Amino acid sequence: MDKFIIQGGKPLHGSVMIGGSKNAALALMPATLLASGKYQFENMPDLRDISTMGKLLQMMGVDVVREGTSLHVNTFRVNKFEAPYEQVKKMRASIYVLGPLIARYGHAKVSLPGGCAWGPRPVNLHIEGVRKLGASIDIEKGYIIAKAKRLRAAKITFDVASVGATGNVMMAAVLAKGTTLIKNAAMEPEITALAQFLMKMGARIDGIGTHLLEIEGVDALTPVDDVMIPDRIEAGTFLAAAAITGGNVKIERCKPAHLTAEIAKFKKAGCVLEVGDNWIRLKAPRSLRPVDVTTAVYPGFPTDMQAQWITMMSVARGNSTVTDAIYFDRFKHVPELIRLGADITLEKNAAVIRGMRHLAGAKVMSTDLRASASLVLAGLVAQGKTEVLRVYHLDRGYDRLEKKLHALGASIRRVSSQEF
| Stretch 228-267: interaction string toward ligand EPZ, x if CB under 6 A | ----------------------------------------
Q: How far is the CB of 188 from ligand EPZ (least distance, A)?
A: 6
Which residues, other chains included, contact 238 with Cβ-Cβ below 8 Å and sequence gap of 6+? Answer: 16, 18, 249, 251, 404
19-58: burial string, b at 16+ Cβ within 10 Å, e else: bbbbbbbbbbbbbbbbbbeebbbebbbebbbbbbbbebbe
The answer to whether 326 contacts ligand EPZ (rule: CB under 6 A) is yes
Stretch 162-201 residues interacting with ligand EPZ (CB under 6 A): 162-165, 186, 190
The one-letter amino acid code at 355 reads G
Using the minimum distance from each CB to ligand EPZ, give the nearer residue, 8 or 190: 190
What gap in Å lies between CA 93 and CA 407, rounded to an integer?
Answer: 31
Q: How far is the CB of 99 from ligand EPZ (least distance, A)?
A: 12
Using the minimum distance from each CB to ligand EPZ, give the nearer residue, 108 or 315: 108
What gap in Å lies between CA 23 and CA 369, rounded to an integer?
Answer: 13
The answer to whether 370 contacts ligand EPZ (rule: CB under 6 A) is yes
Which of 17, 59, 112, 116 is the catalytic position?
A: 116
The one-letter amino acid code at 175 reads L
Q: How far is the CB of 190 from ligand EPZ (least distance, A)?
A: 6
Angle at which helix 306-314 crosses helix 232-244, to 10 degrees, equals 0
The answer to whether 160 contacts ligand EPZ (rule: CB under 6 A) is yes
Q: Would you say 99 and 169 are in contact if contact means Cβ atoms under 8 Å apart?
A: yes
Q: Would you say 309 and 293 are in contact if contact means Cβ atoms under 8 Å apart?
A: yes
Which position among 12, 62, 123, 365 is part of the footprint of ligand EPZ (CB under 6 A)? Answer: 123
Q: How far is the CB of 91 from ligand EPZ (least distance, A)?
A: 8
Does 116 participate in catalysis according to the annotation? yes
89-102: burial string, b at 16+ Cβ within 10 Å, e else: bbbbbbbbbbbbbb
The answer to whether 412 contacts ligand EPZ (rule: CB under 6 A) is no
- H/E element holding 66? strand 63-67
Using the minimum distance from each CB to ligand EPZ, give the nearer residue, 104 or 126: 126
- The alpha carbon of residue 223 and the mean position of all alpha carbons in its chain are separated, in whole angstroms, by 25
- In the three-class reduction of DSSP (H, G, I as helix; E, B as strand; rest coil), residue 410 is classed as coil
The DSSP string of 357-394 is S--B--EEE--SHHHHHHHHHHHHHSBSEEEEE-THHH
Q: How far is the CB of 129 from ligand EPZ (least distance, A)?
A: 8
The answer to whether 293 contacts ligand EPZ (rule: CB under 6 A) is no
Using the minimum distance from each CB to ligand EPZ, give the nearer residue, 190 or 399: 190
CA distances from 409 to 9, 79, 186, 242, 285 (A): 10, 49, 38, 11, 18
Using the minimum distance from each CB to ligand EPZ, give the nearer residue, 294 or 303: 303
Using the minimum distance from each CB to ligand EPZ, give the nearer residue, 113 or 341: 113
The span of 18-26, 28-36, 51-59, 253-261 binding ligand EPZ (CB under 6 A) equals 18-26
Q: How far is the CB of 213 from ligand EPZ (least distance, A)?
A: 15
The answer to whether 23 contacts ligand EPZ (rule: CB under 6 A) is yes
The answer to whether 402 contacts ligand EPZ (rule: CB under 6 A) is no
Residues assigned a catalytic role: 116
Which residues of the chain form contacts with ligand EPZ (CB under 6 A)? 22-23, 26, 92-93, 121-126, 160, 162-165, 186, 190, 303-304, 326-327, 369-370, 397
